Every structure is written in structure tokens, then in C-alpha cells.
Structure 1
Amino acid sequence: MIDNINVDDLVIGAGLCGLMYGLTAATEGRSVVISEAHHKVGGYATNFYRNKRKFIFDCSQHKVSGLREHVGNLWNTLKRLELHSLLEEFHLHEEIGTVVYRGNFIRIPSEPNEIKETLRMYFPDETTGIEQLFKDIETHGYQHYMFFRRLMNEYTINKDILRESRGLSKITAREYFETIFKGNDIIEVLSPIAIYSGSISNEVNAFYFLHCLYAMFYGGQAYVKGTGQHLSNVLLKEFINRGGILLKKNPVYEMEDHDEHMLVKTRKNMIRAKNVIATCPPEDVLKMLKKQEYTDRFQSVINNFEVGWGHFCVYIVISVPPEEIGIFSPEYLLVSDSGDNFTKEDFENDRYYDLFTLSISNYHRFDPAGGYVIQLVMLDHGDRWFHLSEEEYTARKQKIQDKFIKRALKTFPKLEGKLIYTESSTPKTNYKFTLATKGSAFAYKMLPRTNLSLLSDFPNDKIKLVSTWAGGPGYETAMCFGFTQGKLLSKNTKI
């Protein structure tokens, strides 16, 4: 029997963006239901257990930006929602990580002035470029970072730099670096930082990349003990405490406009909602709608964007504390001698996995209760996985896993013989659990001239695209976008 539900807002998806929207709207007095296809909430902010729950693996969370007090947007958001207990559970990183490049282990501190001094020490001939970089981060990067505050009329655009900001949005981060630096080495050390936002320096537009650097260098990098699932669970608890309803294992099948409301059919319910808040990929929203004249028109808008990167991850448990094999930093970025400027041919022939930056995340340092866990992660794309037969998929998955472990052993030879458990995931794995298009973990690519605001004008004004697909990738973005749109809609402000 299908139950009927009537609400102000139906949220499709209980990832961080959906949870934050629901929590905010419920706080504002709206009736909200979140319908989630999975058996647990969080999207990518989840975990899983192995070996009779002895080992805990986090699916993605180890760096959340924007949590420096009075500076970060996420700190401001959580403060306004009176999530004080959650704020106390975030722990600021003492360092962003260590870049390993041509035999040098370059520790990147967490404070902007210390980062600048570190770069000057390693690259004394690049002082002018370093000064320009930090000036651009503090102006253009800050302006982009304040996007959500601008939506709420809490930030006024600096028109004096607007023209230059638009120029930066038309070139890649690598092209920008090449204009301010003399040599390639400093570019190869800075470029890998782009992977934290699911970007590659020779693709991502420079304006957005400067935003990412502001979020990381100035906004404050933090983690939550208990993995990303703990963060998701806390948000869910607050959502329910404030009157929200969660429906799990309840995918949305179709939607139809009934003038005063949307009629939404899910696995378990028929839901009448004044507004549908879609945190899923925009393409899925069109599939859920019964054929209407505007679906083809909006598909042409979606075609302007390129689905972003997922990732290949090797989950590893070792027999000794990571410190005993030389892993002290929370994260290492292993950069090949040729840097991250790979070619399309490199990617298609799998040389990419030998060339592109491989991150080694020390999860034991974040949460010792999870075991001696480290993770090897690289950006990857679903196009390389979905067409394979089961046999081809298994063989290729093992091949890439072996490549990653070989690279890790080259940098940390004491790792040899210490592996007691390994498991891998691919973009296809990501799709299985999140239903994100092509297993993307970072929504659309922020390429030059990319304008996500095109997605804000959905042809049906009862449907709002509220997700990283429409707001940009990253944990901070997802949570702040959910909050912002929850506040705006509650004030009956056009989104």
C-alpha cells in the first residue's frame, strides 16, 4: 500500500546538501521530507566496515574547508543554525599536507603566511609570482568564495576587479600559473592542490581555482573524528529533531506538475509537495518528469557542462602504525617528475595512473579507532569503467590497484610486507552507491567559461536544483548551498 504525504518541500537525496537544506527549511518552520534511495544518509560522506567491523573506511571525508572561526563560510553557516556541538567536533588541520616532488618532501602548513614562507624557501626565484598569487587569492579568490553570501545580500561585489575576475574564468589554472611564475617546478607543487576540489590544473578555470585556494589557505581545513558518516548522522539527527522526516530506501520514480503542487511517485509513497528540491544530477530530474515540452529545452542547457571526475581509491589496512613506515603527515601528494600536465593519450592508455598525482591519506591520524588505515586516491573518470565486461572490470581494477601500491612503495619502502587488507573502488562503485552520473564525486567540471548559474533557471518554478551540480563541488559548497537555498526559499525569494 502506498501512503500519501503532503509537505511544503520534498528533498530528493540525503547527501550533505540535502540534509543541510532540510535542516534549514525545517528550522524555518517548513514541513520537509527527504527521500533517499540508499539505506543510509550522507552520499559520499559515508563509511563502511570490514573484518567484522574491526576496520572502518571513510568514503571521502578528510578535509572540510571553511571552518576557521569568523572567517570560513561553513563555520558561519553552522553557527547560524546553532549547531554548536557539531562545530566542536571539527578539528583544524595543522598542515594541509606534504607534496612529494623530485625527492623533496614539501610540507604545506595550514596558515597563509606560513604557506607563503614555505614557497619562498623552496622557490627563492619565484618571490614576485608568489606575492601575485596571494594577492589574487585574497581578492579574486575571496570574491568567488563569497558567492553564497552574495546570494543572501550579505556581500557586495568588488566591481574594481570584476573585469579581471571574468578574464581569469576564461583560462585554466595552469595557464594562469604560467603567466606569474618563471619555472615549472613551483607549478607542479601547487597544481596538485586542485584535486581537493576534484579539479585538474590544466582543466579548471583559474577564477574557481583561486576560490579553492582561498577556502583551503584562509577558510580553515578541518576533519571530523568518526569519519564523514558521523557528520552526516549528526545533521540527520538535527533534521529530525527540528521536525523533518526521512524516508530511506525510497527512490523517486517520477514527478508530475499539478498546478498548485508537484505529485511525486516514490517506491513507497505518493508525495504532494509545493516544492521539489533536487540534489541529484539534473539529468536525473528530467528523467523523473513525465514528458513535458520543456525537458528537451533544459537538456540543451545541461549539454553545456561536462561531467566531472570520480576517483579510484585503494583502501588499505597495515599491520603497524603509519608512523612506523614513515607516514607522519595527514596526507601526501605524490607528484611524478613530469607533473600533472598529462595528455589525452596518456589517459586513454593508462599511463595516466603512473603520471598523475596520487594522494596517500593517513586516516589513522584522523580517527585512530578505525584501525591502521591509509587510502590511496586518484581522480578517475567513469568513461574508463562502465563499458567493461565483468571480467575486464575485475582485471583492470586489480591492475590499477597494483600500480598505486607500487607507487606508494617507491616513496615509502617500509610499507613492503605490512599490508594486511586491501580493497578498491572505482567510479562504477561510486555510481552503485550514490547514483551520481558516471560515478562523479565532484559534479560538473569547472572548466573555463563554465557558468553554473544557467542551472538556476529550471523551467518549472516548483523544482529547484540544489546540489553541487548547480553550486560547485566540495563538502563546504554542498553544505553552504543547502543552507543558503533553504533560507532563500523560506523567505519566498526567487532562487
Structure 2
Amino acid sequence: MIENLEVDELVIGAGLCGLMYGLSAVSEGSSVAISEAHHKVGGYATNFYRNKRKFVFDCSQHKVSGLKENVGNLWISLKRLGLQSLLDEFELHEEIGTVVYKNQFIKLPSEPEDIKETLINYFPDEIIGIEKLFHDIESHGYQHYMFFRKLMNEYTINRDILKESRSLSKITAREYFNTLFKGQDIIEVLSPIAIYSGSISNEVNAFYFLHCLYAMFYGGPAFMKGTGQRISDLLLKEFVDRGGILLKKNKVYEMEDIGDHMLVTTRKNIVKTKRVIATCPPEDVVKMLKSDEKSQKFKQVLNNFTVGWGHFCVFVVLSVPPEELGITSPEYLLVSDTGDNFTEDDFEKDRYYDLFTLSVSNYHRVDPEGGYILQFIILDHGDRWFSLSEDQYNQRKEKIQGKLIKRVLNTFPQIEDKLVYTESSTPKTNYKFTLATKGSAFAYKMLPKTNLGLLSNFPNDKVKLVSTWSGGPGYETAMCFGFTQGKLLNMKKTQNT
């Protein structure tokens, strides 16, 4: 039976961005409902169990930045929402991880001065470039990182560096590195860090990459105690406790502008609302507004963007703790000897899976109660998975899983006879549970000259695009963008009454 519901705001999607928006808006006195297609909240920040709940797998990477006290944007956002108890659930990393390149295990500490010292120790001939890199991180990277504070009128743009920042946004990170360094080895050690925001150094614009480096090096890299599902569940509890409404297993089908309200048809409800907050892909928003001619023209704006990477993940259970096998770092980035500068032909012929950075995440270190868990993760495009028949899909999935396991065994042969369970997910799996376009885990690619600001001008002023699709990829960005937009839109509402 379809039920009628009336609220000030309807949020489409209960991922981290939607939950933070809902929390922010409901804390300002708005009546808010979140409609979620899945049976659990979190989007990519979810988990699943196997072997009668004996072990638990995280659906996406566990790293989150921005948790350094009074410095990180996420720390500040959670503090302002009165979520001190949630802040206590995070633990700062003692190290970012270990880059494995040409048989060297290069451990990257978590403090910027220590990272700089490590790089200089390994690459003494590159000291000038390293100093310039950290200068740029502290200036251009910091300025990009302060985007959310600028929206809140808490940060003033440094116009002295604006011209150079714009120039950096027009080139790739790899092109930028080539201007800094004399050799390729240091480039191949730094480039893999881009994967934490779903980027590749020969694609992502240098200005955004410097933002990523600032967030990781200076903002406070941390992990949630437990899996990503825990942070989602705790945000949901706060949202409901403050009066918010969650509508689970409730996909949104259509929206109609009826003058002073939007009428939204979902699987279970007809919702009358003053504003729709869409955290889903913008392409889906346009489809939901199929009778709105102005919104249909917005498709032309979307042609300016390229859907970003998803990922292929191999979930692994060992018979003993990984630490007993010498796997002590929270993360290893396995870089091929040729680095991440692959070609389109490499990708089309599957050589890519042998060449691109492969992340080995030691989940047992960050969540011992979940089991002796490792996860092998590589960025992947959904284009290669959706057109396959079921047999083709399963064969390809097994083939890629085998390639990734082989690569890990080349670095850690001691785990071969300790594997007791393996399972894999693909971008198609991601789409099944998140409905993200092409199974993308990182929204739109931050290519040179990409301007997400174009997405802020959606032609229907009762619909707001609030998500990583319009704010940039990553857990920190999703949560901060949700919080900031919730505050800003409610401030405007207050000013207009």
C-alpha cells in the first residue's frame, strides 16, 4: 500500500553524504526523510558477513582523512554536529601505508615532515623537487582543501596563488610531477596515493591531486574502529534520534514539480516536499524528472563529465593473523616496475590488471574482530562488465581474481597455503547495491579543466545535487559536503522567512 508523507526535505540516498546532510538539516529544525533503495544504509560504507557471520568484509576502502583535531575538515564538521562520541570511534593511522616498488618496501609515516624526510632518504637527488612538492601541497593543496570552509565564509581565497592554481587544474598530476622530478622512480612511488580518491596520476588534474595529498598528509588519515558500516549506522542513529525519518528499501521512481512543492513517487510512498536533496548520480535525477523540459536540457551539462572508476575487490580470509605472516602495515600499495602509466591498449587487453597499483588492505589490523581479513583492491571501469552474459561475467571475474591473487603472492608468497576463503566483487556488484552509474565508486573523474561548479546550477531550484558527484570523491568529501550544504541551505531558508 502506498502511503502519503509530507516533509520539508526529502533526501535521495542514505550514503555518508545523505546521512550527514540529513543530520545537518534536521539539527536546524527541518523535517527530513531519507529514502534509500537498499536494505541497509551507507552506500559504499557498508559491510557483509560470510560463514555464519564468522567474518565480516568491508565493501570499500577503510581509509578516511580529515580527522586531525581542529585541523581536518571532517573533525570540524562532526564536532559542529555535536558528534564527539562518533569522533571517539576513529583512530589516527600511525602510518599511511607501504609502497612496494622494485623490491623496496617504502613505509610512509602519517606526519608530513616525516613523509618528506622519508622521500629525501630514498631519493636524495630529488630534494629540490620534494621541497617544491610540499610547498605546493601547503599552498595550492591547502587552498583546494579549504573549499568547504570557503562555502561557509570561513576562508578567504589567496589570490596571489590563484593564477598558478588554475594552471595546475589544466594539467595532469603526472605532467606536474614531470616538471618537479629528474627521474621516474619517485613519481611511481607518489602516484599510487591517488587511488584513495579514485584517481590515476595520468588522468587527475594536478590541483585536485594536491588537495588529496594535503588531506592525506596534513588532514589526519584515520580509520573507523570496525568497518565502514559502523560509521553509517552511528550516523543513522543520530539522525533518527534527532527526529529524522528513514525509508528503507524504498527506491525513488519519479519526481514532479507541482509549483510550491515537489511530488516524489517512491516504491512505498508519495512524498510531498519543499526540497529534494539528490545524492544519487545526476543522470538519475534527470530521468526522475522526465516530464520537466528544463531538466532534460541539463543532460548537455552532464556531457562535460566522465564517470569515474569503480573497483574490483578480492576478499580473502587467512587461517592465521596476517601479522604472523609479516603483513604488519595497514596498507600495501603494490606498484609494478613500469609504474601506473598504462595505456588504453593495456586496459583493453587486460594487461592493466598486471600493471596498475594493487592495494592490499590489512583489515585484521584495523578490525581484529572481523576475522583474519585481507582485501586486494584495484580500480576498474564498469564498461568492461555490464555487457557480459552470466557465463562470460563469471569467467572474467575468476580470471581477474586469479591475476590479482597471483600478484599478491609474488610479494607475499607466505600466504599461499593460508588462504581459506576468497570472494570477489566487480563494478557490476557495486551497481547492484548502490545504483551508482556504471558501478562507479568515485563519482566523476577529476580530469584537467573539470568544473563541478557547473552542477550547482540545476534548472529546478527545488532540487539540489548534493553528493560526491557534485563535490568530489572520497569519504571525507562526501561527509563534509553533506554537512556544509545542510547548513547553507537551512541558513538560506532562515534568511528567507
Q: Check whether the contact 1:311–1:426 (CA below 8 A) recurs between aligned residues.
A: yes
Letter paired with 1:265: T
Distance of 1:21 and 1:92 partners within structure 2: 24
Tell me the SS of whatever aligns to 1:215: helix
1:428 matched to 2:428? The reply is: yes
Deviation at 1:183, TM superposition (A): 0.3
Distance of 1:60 and 1:386 partners within structure 2: 20
Distance of 1:351 and 1:457 partners within structure 2: 41
Distance of 1:325 and 1:202 partners within structure 2: 34
1:201 matched to 2:204? The reply is: no
Tell me the SS of whatever aligns to 2:392: helix
Q: Check whether the contact 2:47–2:56 (CA below 8 A) recurs between aligned residues.
A: yes
What is the match of residue 31 of structure 1?
Answer: 31
Q: Check whether the contact 1:13–1:279 (CA below 8 A) recurs between aligned residues.
A: yes
- Pairs within 5 Å for 1:73-222: 73-222=73-222
Deviation at 1:62, TM superposition (A): 1.4
Distance of 1:492 and 1:243 partners within structure 2: 21
- Pairs within 5 Å for 1:470-485: 470-485=470-485
- Pairs within 5 Å for 1:378-389: 378-389=378-389
Letter paired with 1:25: A
Distance of 1:147 and 1:260 partners within structure 2: 32
Deviations 1:289-320 (CA, angstroms, capped at 9, x unpaired): 13221133200000100000000000000001
1:19 matched to 2:25? The reply is: no
Tell me the SS of whatever aligns to 1:283: helix
Deviations 1:185-210 (CA, angstroms, capped at 9, x unpaired): 00000000000000000000000000
1:253 matched to 2:223? The reply is: no
What is the match of residue 344 of structure 1?
Answer: 344
Deviation at 1:492, TM superposition (A): 1.2
Q: Check whether the contact 1:98–1:105 (CA below 8 A) recurs between aligned residues.
A: yes
What is the match of residue 463 of structure 1?
Answer: 463
Stretches of structure 1 that go unaligned for 5 or more consecutive residues are: none
Distance of 1:350 and 1:338 partners within structure 2: 15
Q: Check whether the contact 2:9–2:277 (CA below 8 A) recurs between aligned residues.
A: yes
Distance of 1:406 and 1:224 partners within structure 2: 29
Deviations 1:20-52 (CA, angstroms, capped at 9, x unpaired): 000000000000000000000000000000000
Tell me the SS of whatever aligns to 1:176: helix
Deviation at 1:458, TM superposition (A): 0.3
Tell me the SS of whatever aligns to 1:491: helix
Deviations 1:359-380 (CA, angstroms, capped at 9, x unpaired): 0000000000000000000000
Q: Check whether the contact 1:97–1:332 (CA below 8 A) recurs between aligned residues.
A: yes
What is the match of residue 297 of structure 2?
Answer: 297
Q: Check whether the contact 2:289–2:296 (CA below 8 A) recurs between aligned residues.
A: no
What is the match of residue 390 of structure 2?
Answer: 390
What is the match of residue 492 of structure 1?
Answer: 492
Q: Check whether the contact 1:61–1:227 (CA below 8 A) recurs between aligned residues.
A: no
What is the match of residue 450 of structure 1?
Answer: 450
Q: Check whether the contact 1:197–1:212 (CA below 8 A) recurs between aligned residues.
A: yes
Letter paired with 1:233: D
Deviation at 1:166, TM superposition (A): 0.1
Distance of 1:290 and 1:349 partners within structure 2: 38
Q: Check whether the contact 1:36–1:248 (CA below 8 A) recurs between aligned residues.
A: yes
What is the match of residue 354 of structure 1?
Answer: 354
Deviation at 1:61, TM superposition (A): 3.8
Q: Check whether the contact 2:318–2:421 (CA below 8 A) recurs between aligned residues.
A: yes
What is the match of residue 331 of structure 1?
Answer: 331
Deviation at 1:417, TM superposition (A): 0.9
Stretches of structure 2 that go unaligned for 5 or more consecutive residues are: none
Letter paired with 1:23: L
Q: Check whether the contact 1:172–1:205 (CA below 8 A) recurs between aligned residues.
A: yes
Q: Check whether the contact 1:96–1:108 (CA below 8 A) recurs between aligned residues.
A: yes
Distance of 1:222 and 1:290 partners within structure 2: 42
Query: RMSD in angstroms over aligned alpha carbons?
Result: 0.8
Letter paired with 1:106: I
- Pairs within 5 Å for 1:266-305: 266-305=266-305
Q: Check whether the contact 1:61–1:223 (CA below 8 A) recurs between aligned residues.
A: no
Tell me the SS of whatever aligns to 1:291: coil
Letter paired with 1:189: V
Tell me the SS of whatever aligns to 1:416: helix
What is the match of residue 4 of structure 1?
Answer: 4
> Paired residues, what number?
494
What is the match of residue 407 of structure 1?
Answer: 407
1:47 matched to 2:47? The reply is: yes
Q: Check whether the contact 2:295–2:460 (CA below 8 A) recurs between aligned residues.
A: no
Distance of 2:455 and 2:127 partners within structure 1: 40
Q: Check whether the contact 1:204–1:447 (CA below 8 A) recurs between aligned residues.
A: yes
